Chains A and B, each alone.
Chain A
């Protein structure tokens, strides 16, 4: 009997109760975006693949702790997988490496694709990000996609560390307010 389409939140909650089928469906739903993030953070494809596998293992093991009242299943998974990837980068000593300018140019968060225009959340996030001053937006994009420490980001972009931190903090608080619907 065909099942009604479940939301990502439903799937993750079911996975938290041990539902492997729901877990598989959740993987299908979010893996491409998670892998896209990991490929940005880790240029080595094999390392990124390992991080993706480990990330989903973490998702399975912690899914029972997911509470939809505190956020979406997707953002919950992004946080978990990204933190785990940063820890992996730290262990591999890749958080302290400067990043080439050519690589930085590719560290861009893009507008939702045409087929995703119905995804109102993506559109809202993009609209909020676009409202940030260019310097703040760029720093947040690079920080998010590259997983670097403040000092490495400062050296890579040849900007004073204080400027980097101020712009990121200011931009992130503003971004949060905009997502809440504020000005």
Chain B
């Protein structure tokens, strides 16, 4: 026998199976006789534990309630009726047969006993009908009250769940709105923080044609780094000067004097002398020594 099914039978005997496991076992039991017998034996084994249960005094009205329930069910299922009807029919049959045969007399006696037993069965129910009607009604009323209480409790719990779910949804919506705003801000900051790296075109002035100029511009901080290379040595009394073109200002804004080394190279950090909103162009010009307040000298490199 499949050990898995044996295990299921053991757990089933203790009533521990989940619904799907129970269905699987029931299907196998219907097919396998050995498993059916094992299941039955294990149920019997488990029931033996009942011998060790500490007894508890049952409710005083237990029998009355059982009778009331039997009576209410009997109206639907006719639990007691078949015996009575069969007994009565048998008694009449036996009377007729008794006239014909002494052997059949014994049958009549037997059937008479059945009638007596059935009558006994029905007697307490019928005899106590009026008294039990009250008990029956009370039992039904109690059941109805329990069902109603259970329904109301479940309805209340469900309403609470719905309220909680709605509150959670509202909170979640607020959080989504907040996060969306944060994402938009971060996106904007990211765009603003983006650095522009600009390689300016070669100079159109013959002596400076080999010069190279690169600007890294931080739009958020409004500052940058200038790198020059292969620039000719500046003649005495003159300096290179960097300018920033802001479309909103009439003149380029100075970003400072640039000193190059013996190889014509320089790397400086710069800031505009006055605030700029936007840097649309960078200019390197040749100005008087220590720089000019306003661009006057020749433009050597400009762009982009």
Q: Does A83 reach chain B (CB closer than 8 Å)?
A: yes
- The answer to whether B45 and A53 have CB atoms under 8 Å apart is no
Say yes or no for A11: interface residue by CB 8 A criterion: no
Cβ contact within 8 Å between A153 and B16: yes
Distance of A157 Cα from B47 Cα, bound (Å):
23
Q: How far is the CA of A153 from the CA of B50 in the complex (A)?
A: 20
Question: Is B301 part of the binding interface, using a Cβ–Cβ cutoff of 8 Å?
Answer: no
Closest to A49 in B: B59
Task: Give chain A interface residues in 126-160, CB to chain B under 8 Å.
Answer: 126, 129, 140-141, 143-145, 147-151, 153
A57 lies within 8 A of B70 (CB): yes
B52 proximity list for chain A (CB < 8 A)? 109-112, 122, 125-126, 129
Q: Which of B18, B48, B121 contacts A149 (CB 8 A)?
A: B18
On whether A61 and B18 interact (CB within 8 A), knowing A17-B117, A75-B44, the answer reads no
A-B contact count (CB 8 A): 160
Which among B3-11, B101-109, B194-202 touches the partner chain? Answer: B3-11
Is B99 among interface residues, defined by CB-CB distance under 8 A? no
Which stretch, B35-43, B226-234, B281-289, touches the partner chain A? Answer: B35-43
A57 contact from B40, B45, B58, B73, Cβ within 8 A: B73
Task: State whether the Cβ of B255 lies closer than 8 Å to any Cβ in chain A.
Answer: no
Q: Mark B26-68, 1 if CB is under 8 A from A, else 0.
A: 0000000000000011111111111111111111001101100
B83: interface (CB < 8 Å): yes
Could you give, for residues 165-201 of chain B, a 1 whenever the CB lies within 8 Å of some chain A CB and a 0 otherwise?
Answer: 0000000000000000000000000000000000000
Decide if B58 touches A86 in the complex (CB within 8 Å): no
CB < 8 Å: which of A21, A27, A176 contacts B120? A21
Q: Mark B119-141, 1 if CB is under 8 A from A, else 0.
A: 01101100000000000000000
Given A33-B53, A150-B17, 6 new contacts (CB under 8 A) = A36-B53, A49-B65, A60-B66, A144-B14, A150-B11, A150-B16
Report whether B45 and A27 are in contact in the complex, using a CB–CB cutoff of 8 Å: no
Is the Cβ of B47 less than 8 Å from the Cβ of A165? no
Q: In this assembly, does B219 line the interface, its C-beta being within 8 Å of a C-beta of chain A? A: no
A141→B46 CA distance, assembly (Å): 10
Hey, what's the 0/1 contact readout for A76-117 against B, CB within 8 Å counting as 1?
101100110010000010000000000000000111100000
Closest 3 CB pairs of A and B: A32-B55, A75-B47, A78-B50
